[in-house]
Chains A and B, each alone.
Chain A
Amino acid sequence: MPGDFAVDLGADTVRAPRLVLASGLGNADLAPLVGLSAPLRPERGQILVTERARQVLALPTHVVRQTEEGSLLLGDSKEDLGFDTLTQTPAIMRAIARRAVQTFPWIAELNIVRAWAALRVMSPDGKPIYDASERFPGAYIANCHSGVTLAGAHASLLAPMIAAGALAPDLSPFSARRFHVQKTA
């Protein structure tokens, strides 16, 4: 109901006047429940993680970064494999390793202790989706493929808008309506 949302968690039900759907790829199914659309697809990326090393890389690059604990994360790949995060591809892992070594030759000495794959939350044009529901005022959706990068914007710009009850007009390019327009064009 507008202004009165109930979320059923099985054992509990939570009620609130505002609802923000921020469940990543899950928004594709949840958004229509509040009259919105979130056309998202999973884009897989694989990451190699090295053993801890003393701090050597103060600034992150797009494909190599060092965590506070000292591990280096090496990426990235872009794969279209649906929701599979378990299959690993030696060829892609090798390509990631080669690129990292080309970038920083000293990385060759570090041991890879683990690797994993995860799914990016991709909109058709790669840009975020922010929408406020017209049929169910108080309901919003928020999607992007780099919530870490945009955390500052989400916390200090988006959250106050939601609290105030309306998204600012300069967020309108991020509405999912832009995809419908393309479809009918």
Chain B
Amino acid sequence: MIYDLAIVGAGPAGMAAGIEAAALGLSVTVLDEQPAPGGQVFRAVEAASGDAALAGEFRDAGGALAAAFRAVRGIAYRPQTTLWHLDPEAGLLSVVSGGATAEIQARRILLATGAQERPVPIAGWTLPGVMSAGAAQILLKTAGAVPDGSVVIAGQGPLCWLLAVQLLRAGVERLTLLETGSGGAFRDALRAGGLWTGRKLLAKGLALMRETRARGLRVVRNVRDLRAEGDGRIRTVRWRQGSRDHALACDTLLLHEGVIPSTHITRALGLDHDWDARQLCWRPRLDRWGATSHANVAVAGDGGGIGGWEAAAAGGRLAAIDAAHRLGRFDAAVRETRAADASKARHAALALRPFLDRLYRPGPGVLAPADDTIVCRCEEITAGQVRDAARLGAAGPNQVKAYLRAGMGPCQGRMCGTVVAGLIAETRGTSMESVGALRPRAPFKPMTVGELANQRPDAIPELTA
């Protein structure tokens, strides 16, 4: 069969889009690599709903959305299914699931593959015991687990505060937040405005900060030059503050410098992208409905630009409404009417973004770290090696890949691509736009030769609620 709409990703955008599309009478399938819906922000929400440490929005809003998604008839939901190739012209999705590959056909494709935490390359970040902040949150959500001993969150952004609250509620006793970020960022952020419209989100953030204070979180501000040190695993975290060096015993170091769109698939498709100088990331070029530079492909959620789960859900609804319009279900005037609520919700959800983007803008070292820092974790290539290649003439990340193998490992450049580009731009004195980005190709995620060789003639069995 040919679906009206194939949605890749069952996070807030994908779930909301699926619910809306089914309500509009479109035939829709939702693919997701995880075994349960929720994406990352609501990961394992169905299983973790009893955990008091995760009380609040995660449990309430996330749980409700997942339940609504499950309840809809008419969504062909395919968990543990990974997209490995997409032909947008033919509407052909090549997927792998359960040891074999198969094909799904759709008139329109909505990519809701979300975001990833920005890699934070510091000296020693590859040591066992150093993880992203989100990783600790996922361990809490999926296994109810917390880190032992001295736990340090280093970086900046709303997730740092949310995670701190969750870890403290969950019983972590020695928790320190090392906040990077410059002193002037707050003044700059105030100029962005949006504080009144975004007051709900702002109040949430302030409440989190108050709770961390009440629970005894130690906060160090204006931290620079982070280093992780240890023999075979992290033992100490070092930093500079002003002109002084500091060190702290550390058993688990959780790094966070914001979240960036996952552009792996949109890049593989050759869609148009723009460099977002505020969020320091690439984003696919989208219209207000999420339509990309290819007629059959749209993007919704954080994959189109970081906005948080509420904006993602609203964006998913808008993309589904637009899909119905493009497939001839109703005209543009009706599209406007149906989209009014979601548009308003999205606008409100994004109101605080400019403020947050300025407040938590990563420092230059995040995109262009010191020479001795590993930037390609898979192939163990350092920033110094990349700078040397750039001086030799490598003008972009695809060339650096050929010189050094950076980007040839299994992560396919997800961890190193933007940093390699940042190093080239810095070394050659050019812009991120002119340096460009890594060009990924299928398979979008590794799969075995055997999986590719095995093809199921019939479509992968789906779960319909």
Contact = CB atoms under 8 A, between A and B. Distances in A.
Do A and B interact directly, with beta carbons closer than 8 Å? yes
Interface string B428-465: 00000000000101110011111011010000000000
B106 to A, nearest CB: 15
B449 A108 contact: yes
Nearest to A52: B409
B453 A115 contact: no
A157 to B, nearest CB: 29
Contacts of B270: 86
A50 B405 CA distance: 14
Nearest to A48: B449
B452 A93 contact: yes
B442 A110 contact: no
B412 interface: yes
Given A51-B410, A113-B446, A114-B412, A88 B452 contact: no
Contacts of B446: 51, 111-113
B441 A88 contact: yes
A94 B101 CA distance: 9
Given A51-B446, A90-B85, A114-B408, A108 B453 contact: yes
A97 B452 contact: yes
A66 to B, nearest CB: 13
B323 to A, nearest CB: 24
B409 A50 contact: no
Nearest to A95: B453
Interface string A44-83: 0000101100000000000000000100001000000000
Contacts of B399: none
A101 interface: yes
Interface in A85-106: 86, 88, 90, 93-94, 97-98, 100-101
Nearest to A117: B441
Contacts of A90: 85, 87, 92, 94, 101, 103, 442
Interface in B149-170: none
B443 A94 contact: no
A109 B405 CA distance: 23
A105 to B, nearest CB: 9
Contacts of A101: 449-450, 453
Contacts of A113: 408-410, 412, 446
Given A90-B94, A94-B101, A98-B453, A108 B448 contact: yes
A93 B410 contact: no
Contacts of A93: 85, 442, 452
A112 B449 contact: yes
A21 interface: no
B408 to A, nearest CB: 7
B437 to A, nearest CB: 14
A116 B443 CA distance: 10
Contacts of B409: 113
Contacts of A110: 448-449
A30 interface: no
A107 interface: yes
A114 B85 CA distance: 12
A148 to B, nearest CB: 16
Interface string B89-102: 00010100000010
Contacts of A74: 449
Contacts of A116: 441
A57 B452 CA distance: 21
B453 A111 contact: no
A168 B410 CA distance: 48
A109 B448 contact: yes
B85 A111 contact: no
B395 to A, nearest CB: 14
B100 to A, nearest CB: 11
A173 to B, nearest CB: 35
B376 to A, nearest CB: 13
Contacts of B94: 90
A111 B452 CA distance: 10
Interface string B261-291: 0000000001000000000000000000000
Nearest to A110: B449
Centre residue among A86, A97, A100 by max chain B CB count within 10 A: A97
B450 A108 contact: yes
B324 to A, nearest CB: 29
A161 B262 CA distance: 54
Given A111-B410, A114-B412, A97 B442 contact: no
Centre residue among A114, A115, A116 by max chain B CB count within 10 A: A114
A113 B441 CA distance: 10
B453 A97 contact: yes
Interface in B394-446: 405, 408-410, 412, 439, 441-443, 446
A116 B452 CA distance: 15
26 contacts: A51-B410, A51-B446, A69-B405, A88-B85, A90-B92, A90-B94, A93-B85, A93-B452, A94-B101, A94-B452, A97-B453, A107-B450, A108-B450, A109-B448, A109-B450, A110-B448, A111-B410, A111-B449, A112-B443, A112-B446, A113-B410, A113-B446, A114-B412, A114-B441, A115-B442, A116-B441
Interface of A: 48, 50-51, 69, 74, 86, 88, 90, 93-94, 97-98, 100-101, 107-116
Q: Identify the 8 closest CB pairs spanning chains A and B, nearest first.
A: A108-B450, A97-B452, A111-B446, A97-B453, A98-B453, A90-B94, A113-B446, A97-B449
Given A101-B450, A111-B410, 17 more contacts: A48-B449, A48-B452, A88-B441, A90-B87, A93-B85, A93-B442, A94-B455, A97-B452, A98-B453, A110-B449, A111-B447, A111-B448, A112-B452, A113-B409, A113-B412, A114-B441, A115-B442
